[in-house]
């Protein structure tokens, strides 16, 4: 996704990893997966790759994405809007796709 400069809706992302968005357990697992990716990548590169997975209707990440941003100190809603934070993180992730070493973890997973 990052290499193509595109986001993915939650349902498409979930289908791609063998989960179904209609299953509440699968939705919970998706949140856990995105949270784990967030934690591992943010600690190394200071950006949030989960920004690429968005809600079909709003075309934005869900509230847990913004909460994790607040928890990590990456996002302060008093200083910037959700929209500005979302665009800033997308820009960082898309720019990082040009640096292959950042995505080595992704390639190792066979993705």
Q: Is residue 56 part of a domain?
A: yes
> What residues make up the domain containing 41?
8-108
What is the C-alpha to C-alpha distance for residues 8 and 58, in angstroms, rounded to an integer?
Answer: 12
H or E, element range at 102: none
pTM across the whole model? 0.73
Q: What is the pLDDT of residues 27-36, one digit of tens each?
A: 999 888 887 8
**CA geometry: angle at 43 spanning 86 and 91, to 5°?**
30
If one counts the domains in the chain, the total is: 1
Q: Is residue 95 part of a domain?
A: yes
Asked if residues 45 and 96 have their Cβ atoms less than 8 Å apart, the reply is yes
Confidence category of residue 2, pLDDT binned at 50, 70, 90: low
Q: Is residue 1 part of a domain?
A: no
Q: Give how far the C-alpha of residue 19 lies from the chain's centroid of Cα atoms, to the nearest Å.
A: 17
Q: Is residue 16 part of a domain?
A: yes
Q: Is residue 3 part of a domain?
A: no
Q: How many CB atoms within 10 Å of residue 31?
A: 16
pLDDT at 78: 95
59-64 contact pairs (CB < 8 A, 24+): 59/7, 60/86, 61/86, 62/10, 64/31, 64/34, 64/35
């Amino acid at each position: 996704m990052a290499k193509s400069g595109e986001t993915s809706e939650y349902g498409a992302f979930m289908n791609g990893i063998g989960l179904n968005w209609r299953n509440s357990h699968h939705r919970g697992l998706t949140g856990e997966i995105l949270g784990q990716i967030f934690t591992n990548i943010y600690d190394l590169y200071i950006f949030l790759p989960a920004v690429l997975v968005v809600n079909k209707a709003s075309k934005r990440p869900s509230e847990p994405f913004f909460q994790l941003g607040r928890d990590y100190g990456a996002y302060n809603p008093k200083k910037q809007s959700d929209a500005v934070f979302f665009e800033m993180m997308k820009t960082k992730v898309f720019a990082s796709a040009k640096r292959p070493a950042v995505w080595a973890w992704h390639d190792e997973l066979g993705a």
